[in-house]
Amino acid sequence: MRNWTAIVLLLLIVGPAQGAMALKGRLEWLHKVEMRVVESGVVEEITVTAGQHVERGDLLLRMDQRAVQANLLEAKAQVARSRVNTERAERELVRTQELFDRGLIAQEELKDAELEQAAAVAEEESAKAADASAQIDLERTELRAPFAGIVVSRNVWTGDVVYKTLQQTPLLVIAPNDRMLARVLVTADVLRRYRPGQSARVNLFGEMREAKVYSLGVEAARVEVQGAVYELDVIFERRADELLRPSEVVRVVLP
């Protein structure tokens, strides 16, 4: 970690004549998403491993779905039954209205038919809600990629019993692979010179890449004898065929 102190000191001696500063930095993921299941169960299938690239919506993990599939089938059957009851109640209401209009039945019988029809409609809506809930439960048995990215870590295996309240370690961790951060440590005086969005460049192993200042540290990353140092991140586009990993050392050029 003391090497970062030396990096900060390079601010005074390293940089092109035009006033730009070239600093050693390290690569970081733009962000990471820790994925856990929201229902307890047994892991049935895992389709990815660490280092694998995935597209948005790709299946990552599936839990045993038999119980939730059975619940979904029952919910759909209830929707069908309630729909039949609704149609029957609607026909009865039409018939009752005709009889009432002809003066053959009392108004109370018409009101009863209206209540029966309203109750049937309410029951059907309740069945539809149960069907939608069962569909959500089925969807929750799967983890799918929230964006195109790379699997950073995998901490689960087929056959594992997973409890939704005991997942201290995420089952999978995903990071976007279209952009990355290059992070440098700078003094407060240097940090004040920049704002998010300012142009920068990153030297990726001999290739210069256009970048922009992404974020400026608010709290000190560390306090050294020479003073506090802060994180400054620049963001750059990452090509799909590039094999870049966090903590790799690169050079960041700040204007």
The residues spanned by each domain of the chain are: 3-31+176-254, 33-65+144-175, 67-139
Amino acid at 86: T
Q: Are 133 and 74 in contact (CB under 8 A)?
A: no
Residue 20 three-state SS: coil
CATH of region 67-139: 1.10.287
Residue 71 three-state SS: helix
- How distant, in Å, are the alpha carbons of 45, 63, 69, 154, 226 from that of 158? 6, 9, 20, 12, 52
The per-residue pLDDT for range 115-137, each reduced to its tens digit, is 999 999 999 999 999 999 999 99
Q: Are 226 and 5 in contact (CB under 8 A)?
A: yes
pLDDT (0 to 100) of residue 176: 93
- What are the DSSP E strand ranges found in the chain? 21-29, 33-35, 41-46, 53-54, 59-63, 142-144, 149-154, 161-162, 172-176, 179-187, 199-204, 207-216, 222-224, 227-237, 249-254
The per-residue pLDDT for range 136-165, each reduced to its tens digit, is 999 999 999 999 999 999 999 999 999 988
Per-residue pLDDT of the chain (255 residues; tens, 9 = 90+): 444 444 443 443 344 435 688 999 999 999 999 999 998 999 999 999 999 999 999 999 999 999 999 999 999 999 999 999 999 999 999 999 999 999 999 999 999 999 999 999 999 999 999 999 999 999 999 999 999 999 999 999 999 999 988 899 999 999 998 999 999 999 999 999 999 999 999 999 899 999 999 999 999 998 887 789 999 999 999 987 788 899 999 999 999
Is residue 62 left, alpha or beta, with left meaning phi > 0 and alpha meaning psi from -120 to 50? Answer: beta
Options 2.60.40.650, 3.40.50.2000, 2.40.50.100, 3.40.50.720; CATH of 33-65+144-175? 2.40.50.100
Class of domain 3-31+176-254: mainly beta
